Amino acid sequence: MRGKKKYRSKKDLIRSLMMKQLKNVKFGKDWVSLEYDGKKIKNKIKIVKHEWGVGDWDRKKNIVFIDDDLKRKRDVQSVALHECIEKYVAQKYKLNVDDEAHPIAEAVEKRYYRILDGSWKVHQKKVEKVWIKEGMK
């Protein structure tokens, strides 16, 4: 029987999760699927008007929400992937969304975006523009 890996501290757990690689990332018309942390994850993507911030996720269903002001497909997919990872680690490991799960999701998203040969700084500026428009800053 395989048990859960024990970490000396929450900081070690977070560091480990930040370094984990994505596998088999696939996007459909309105869904994303991937493997992360040895688990298959699939979420529906809902584009919504005036999402609080840029993206969010449903606490009970496998749905991620992306603001409709984010236009470019690559940016939408990247934020959807971020929300999937954030949802997974927050729920599985009972992490604080803003202080613990978000930095993990951002680290994974950043590596994924760079693999696509995208400019992380350009992507971040687009996300920040939507963030500001939706009144978050």
Measured from the Cβ of residue 121, the count of other Cβ atoms closer than 10 Å reads 8
Average pLDDT over residues 37-45: 98
Confidence grade of residue 10 (pLDDT, cut at 50, 70, 90):
very high
Domain ranges of the chain: 22-133
Q: Which long-range contacts (CB under 8 A, 24 or more apart) does 46-53 make?
A: 47/76, 50/134, 51/134, 52/134, 52/136, 53/131, 53/134, 53/136
Please report the pLDDT score of residue 119 as a whole number: 87
Portion of the chain with pLDDT greater than 70, in percent: 93
Predicted confidence (pLDDT) per residue in 90-131, tens digit: 999 999 999 999 999 999 999 998 888 778 898 899 999 988
**Residue 83, both tokens:** 């929300």
pLDDT at 1: 43
CATH match of 22-133 with 3.30.2010: yes
The reported pTM is 0.90
C-alpha to C-alpha distance for 58 and 47, rounded to whole angstroms: 13
Can you give the pLDDT at residue 131?
Answer: 86
State pLDDT tens for residues 13-35. Answer: 999 999 999 999 999 999 999 99
